[in-house]
Structure 1
């Protein structure tokens, strides 16, 4: 991959993961390009072509021969058009959205760069039921799950399994207008007494899952051929079973973990089934030490794990994957890169100065950034 450089697509200027990876790659002589969207002026415009003779091809953008890998991190559609009339904005946003859909659907066909992850596979893998269907195919154990807005089915499921967790499809955070307090939708145990209101259940579909009587959690960050399992211990939190609450409250403890023989092989098969090379897998470990698959976040956060368990070279692995543009990369080729090193660097200080003003919400959280 000599003279080929990574492209990072992340829509948030305060994405510390993108900033840390840029720093790590630059330390090894690479010149990564971080763009916010496909309309970013920092990148040559991307054009898609199709004709009866040669089929689909592309020019510009990630099709450039100098791009060796693309980190499809957390992209956003173009939203700001400085020279447009306000009445034209809906049309522009819609046109960019549809153009972007074509890019994502055919990304694998117009460049030989490594995608982390291929957009079409990444978008598909965001669907929880797609993940569970793939988990079944590779033999991973997981709890019985219902996705529904049907009060009858929801009550029947809770009645059959007794202890059931409710999860949103995506975490949502909001501020109470009266108290100013911030609230988030985390996984919690529900019972029949919470399910009397048909109108409420019909109004919002949810994920209902049989409770795993867990002893602790394990988060496995999979980066190409390498995997980094980390045990997460959190104190009891009443009806809430989500380790993220302990992380936010700084009561979570993390350390390297070991999984049963052959289990990591099944997780790598899951990744191949989903067509992705990077993902953060959440496992619930029961009292007998048996892991139960819950989900994989194909754009998950991982730096908080390295900060909690510094012996795990997760940032180094991500930089190596993008630098070498292959799943069977060598971590050893990417020396002297760590999250602690980035936090202590002048580059981190300079980056933080450019993003810190005005991005923190009332509770101190950075919008768009979670510990997922």
Structure 2
């Protein structure tokens, strides 16, 4: 069985399920964790005599026996949803903590191929570690400061005058999404607010190309944005209508990216890089669960098929 853990309306999950069907994979299941606990039963049976048994049984559906799962795509796990009648925050915190511990323990018992391993996936999402590991494998990275010190921030701004520093958040939080942007005078006037939460500051990287590189197992799918038509220089995500075309990376960059994937322990990753006017390839970040359909549709790269084939193989590509 192939288990996909995501939202029931996730178009990326649906695209890969379609590819799995075309490959002839019949035993596949899309699990939406937001159905727990009210519409999903969890059962873990352990004793000295019988094999361990882990079952997830959605309301009115057949059970999914976790020990029968050969591959898992940890795509976009949804948060558990307690009943609206449960309002006491202490009881809610307790219920969430118990559920998280039970599920995490069950996932760790699985011997399936995980895309990605949930511990590695969470660790690789941390931007300080990403940049450290990228540097270790020989990739170029921007000069970066992560701090909650207004004084440190001010010194970094002075190091790169003339509006050449960008800032961005560590994570995307619902309701408080922030795009990558330049540090302008109006932001500097609020420098005291840096004290309340660390901020990522980086030297702005001039680009002749923005790259989105999707890696599935050992396959590399590189796409280049048509930056001549971009409306926003600092954050390629805001250029929703920009076109991508497939491109070829230098072999040494490919090998460094595969080494980075190996060091992070990831089977899948979506990487953002920039090519400078001098021809230098600069690593910006990696998203262990990054979007890929917009690249697939624009550049014609078969990423959904590659993911389906990798899941169907059940083979781990990382040490």
TM-score clears 0.5: yes
Distance in 2 (CA, whole Å) between partners of 1:123 and 1:64 is 21
Distance in 2 (CA, whole Å) between partners of 1:141 and 1:101 is 38
Tell whether 2:319 aligns with 1:322.
no
The answer on whether the counterparts of 2:231 and 2:239 sit within 8 Å (CA) in structure 1 is no
Q: Which residue of the partner structure matches residue 230 of structure 1?
A: 223
Of stretches 299-308 and 187-196 in structure 1, the one that deviates more from structure 2 is 187-196
What's the offset of the Cα at 1:42? 7.9
Q: Which residue of the partner structure matches residue 167 of structure 2?
A: 166
Q: Which residue of the partner structure matches residue 107 of structure 1?
A: 107
> Which one of 26, 29, 32 corresponds to residue 30 of structure 1?
26
The answer on whether the counterparts of 2:25 and 2:312 sit within 8 Å (CA) in structure 1 is no
Tell whether 2:42 aligns with 1:45.
yes
Residue 236 and residue 166 in structure 1: after superposition, are their counterparts in 2 closer, same or farther (change >3 A)?
farther
CA RMSD in angstroms comes to 3.0
What's the offset of the Cα at 1:228? 0.2
Q: How many residues align?
A: 305
1:114-193 equivalence runs, <5 A = 114-162=113-161, 163-171=164-172, 185-191=178-184
> Which one of 174, 189, 195 corresponds to residue 196 of structure 1?
189
Distance in 2 (CA, whole Å) between partners of 1:92 and 1:197 is 36
1:122-142 Cα distance to aligned partner (Å, 9 max, x none): 111111011112112212110
The answer on whether the counterparts of 2:70 and 2:112 sit within 8 Å (CA) in structure 1 is yes
Q: Which residue of the partner structure matches residue 337 of structure 1?
A: none
3-state SS of the aligned residue for 1:259? coil
The runs of 5 or more residues in structure 1 that have no matched partner are 175-182, 329-372
Residue 40 and residue 91 in structure 1: after superposition, are their counterparts in 2 closer, same or farther (change >3 A)?
closer
Distance in 1 (CA, whole Å) between partners of 2:25 and 2:314 is 15
Distance in 2 (CA, whole Å) between partners of 1:104 and 1:284 is 36
What's the offset of the Cα at 1:77? 2.8
Residue 191 and residue 159 in structure 1: after superposition, are their counterparts in 2 closer, same or farther (change >3 A)?
farther
Distance in 1 (CA, whole Å) between partners of 2:97 and 2:110 is 21
Distance in 1 (CA, whole Å) between partners of 2:39 and 2:314 is 22
What's the offset of the Cα at 1:92? 4.5
Residue 164 and residue 234 in structure 1: after superposition, are their counterparts in 2 closer, same or farther (change >3 A)?
same
What's the offset of the Cα at 1:104? 3.2
Q: Which residue of the partner structure matches residue 68 of structure 1?
A: 70
The answer on whether the counterparts of 1:186 and 1:240 sit within 8 Å (CA) in structure 2 is no
3-state SS of the aligned residue for 1:122? helix
The answer on whether the counterparts of 1:151 and 1:202 sit within 8 Å (CA) in structure 2 is yes
TM-score by structure 2 length? 0.85
What's the offset of the Cα at 1:288? 2.3
Distance in 2 (CA, whole Å) between partners of 1:220 and 1:119 is 21
Tell whether 2:264 aligns with 1:274.
yes
